[in-house]
Amino acid sequence: MKRKGFGFYLRIYCKILAQDLKSKMSYRADFIISTIGMIFTNISGFVSFWILFRNFPSINGWSYYEMLFLYGFSLISLTPVQCLFDNNWSLRQYVYSGDFIKYCFRPINLFFYYQSEVFDIKGLGQLAFGIGTLIFAWVKIGLAFTPLMLLKMIVFLLTASLIMIALQNAAAASCFWIQNSFYVLDLAYRFRDYAKYPITIFTPVFRFIFTFVMPIAFIAYYPSLVVLRPDAVPMLSWLSPLIGIAFFYVSYKIWMYGAMKYSGTGS
């Protein structure tokens, strides 16, 4: 069979996305309410920082606006997993019901086909709020803006997002082997709340966990140091793009391995 290229998958994705958006926009009230709910959820995080820093001028050397920068950075880097990989939450239902078998007979990449069926448009509200927060913090900190700085931001934001995508892919794929896999996926999802904090505020044990076990420090902390503190960038910050790509590749292989072993509810 002839191998299909990027252009083929891009055309297929655009067609699937158009149909998915049409179906979602037919329930506009649900879309509006869900979007408002997500915006208020993000605002609550913004307010929590404000309340915290009314009593403390800084936390372990991190100022209010630097923490806001991390918060905005994490919101932006988490948007791809929110928008493009939301179907992972339904994977266990498809597997347990046997409906997942229908994806195994399409002449395209199984992972792409399954993930492309759902686009969570509410994540765009999170993206807008994250960009606004990041710009606000950027101006308040007084960071310089250059084309090179913008390029660094784009590269590190994109590769940082691969970490959370990888964690969710691997956690969702556990349903191929574990009956109560929801708790695995939910745990991975809840860990993302720690991504908006610098790991220096945690104990050495949690620093190790958030760097090498559940590497959420690569979602915002390490990549953002390239912009926030360019004079003292640790090696892990420069390695974060490679780490993000490596983790995503491993999670993809785990997901595909489980999917290839799947043979329906009778297995």
Give me the pLDDT at residue 1, please.
46
Per-residue pLDDT of the chain (267 residues; tens, 9 = 90+): 456 777 888 888 888 888 777 776 666 676 677 767 777 777 777 777 677 677 666 777 888 889 889 999 999 999 999 999 999 999 999 999 989 988 888 788 999 999 998 888 878 888 988 999 999 999 999 998 899 999 999 999 999 999 999 999 999 999 999 988 899 999 998 888 888 889 988 999 999 999 998 899 999 999 999 999 888 889 999 999 999 999 999 999 999 999 998 876 544
Tell me whether residue 267 is in a domain: no
Residues 6+ apart with CB under 8 A from 114: 87, 91, 100, 103, 259
Give me the pLDDT at residue 31, please.
67
CA 162 vs. chain centroid, Å, equals 7
Give me the pLDDT at residue 163, please.
94
Tell me whether residue 112 is in a domain: yes
Q: Which residues pair with 58 in a beta bridge?
A: 63
Total domains present in the chain: 1
- Closest CA relative to residue 167, chosen from 187, 197, 196: 187
Give me the pLDDT at residue 267, please.
45
The answer to whether the CB of 164 falls within 8 A of the CB of 195 is: yes
The answer to whether the CB of 75 falls within 8 A of the CB of 127 is: yes
Cite the beta strand spans of 49-111 per DSSP E. 58-59, 62-63
Tell me whether residue 201 is in a domain: yes
The answer to whether the CB of 31 falls within 8 A of the CB of 121 is: yes
Tell me whether residue 1 is in a domain: no
Domain residue limits at 69: 6-261
Give me the pLDDT at residue 64, please.
85
Q: What pTM did the predictor assign?
A: 0.86
Give me the pLDDT at residue 2, please.
53
Residues 6+ apart with CB under 8 A from 244: 159, 160, 161, 162, 163, 166, 218
Which residue in this structure is represented by tokens 């964690």?
167
- Closest CA relative to residue 251, chosen from 186, 188, 179, 158: 188
The answer to whether the CB of 149 falls within 8 A of the CB of 157 is: no
Tell me whether residue 159 is in a domain: yes
